[in-house]
C-alpha cells in the first residue's frame, strides 16, 4: 500500500517550453500533496503544498507563476514548469500524505533537463 507514482520519470526539453509533471496516489486518497526539488548531492527543498480543490501554498522564494500546481482530485496533483530555462533543470519529487498518519510517501521523482 501507499504507492505514489510520478510521470514522466525523465524529460528533456528546449528552453522556453512548459513541462507538466503528474503525481498520483495509486491506492489511497491523499489529504495533501507536496512538491520538492532536489539538486545533486543536496537535500530536498519543499517548493509547495497543495490540497485538493484549493490553491497551493508556496514556500518563500518559489515563484508561483513559474511553478503552477493544480490539485484536481484526492489522487492527482500536477506541477507545470512554465517557460523552462536551464536553471530549472533538477530532480522534482512529489509526496502524498495520508490523513491522520502524518506520513508522506514519495513518488519516484522526475529528472528535468532543460537545454
Partner 1 sequence: AQKVTQAQTEISVVEKEDVTLDCVYETRDTTYYLFWYKQPPSGELVFLIRRNSFDEQNEISGRYSWNFQKSTSSFNFTITASQVVDSAVYFCALINAGGTSYGKLTFGQGTILTVHP
Which is closer to partner 1, CB of 69 or CB of 93?
A: 93
CB proximity list for 38: less than 8 A, separation 6 or greater: 44, 45, 90, 91, 92, 93, 109
Residues near partner 1, by CB under 8 A: 2, 32, 34, 41-44, 46, 49, 91, 93, 95, 97, 102-109, 111
Which is closer to partner 1, CB of 10 or CB of 15?
A: 10
Contact 75, 4 (CB under 8 A): no
In the bound complex, what is the minimum distance in angstroms from residue 111's beta carbon to partner 1? 7
Contact 81, 18 (CB under 8 A): yes
- Provide the grid cell at 75: 489522487
Give the gyration radius of the chain's Cα atoms: 13
Amino acid at each position: 500500500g501507499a504507492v505514489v507514482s510520478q510521470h514522466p520519470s525523465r524529460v528533456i526539453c528546449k528552453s522556453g517550453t512548459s513541462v507538466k509533471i503528474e503525481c498520483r496516489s495509486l491506492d489511497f486518497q491523499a489529504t495533501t500533496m507536496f512538491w520538492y526539488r532536489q539538486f545533486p548531492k543536496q537535500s530536498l527543498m519543499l517548493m509547495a503544498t497543495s490540497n485538493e480543490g484549493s490553491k497551493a501554498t508556496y514556500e518563500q522564494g518559489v515563484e508561483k507563476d513559474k511553478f503552477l500546481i493544480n490539485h484536481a482530485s484526492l489522487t492527482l496533483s500536477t506541477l507545470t514548469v512554465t517557460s523552462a530555462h536551464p536553471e530549472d533543470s533538477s530532480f522534482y519529487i512529489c509526496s502524498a500524505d495520508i490523513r491522520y498518519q502524518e506520513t508522506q510517501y514519495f513518488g519516484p521523482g522526475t529528472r528535468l533537463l532543460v537545454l
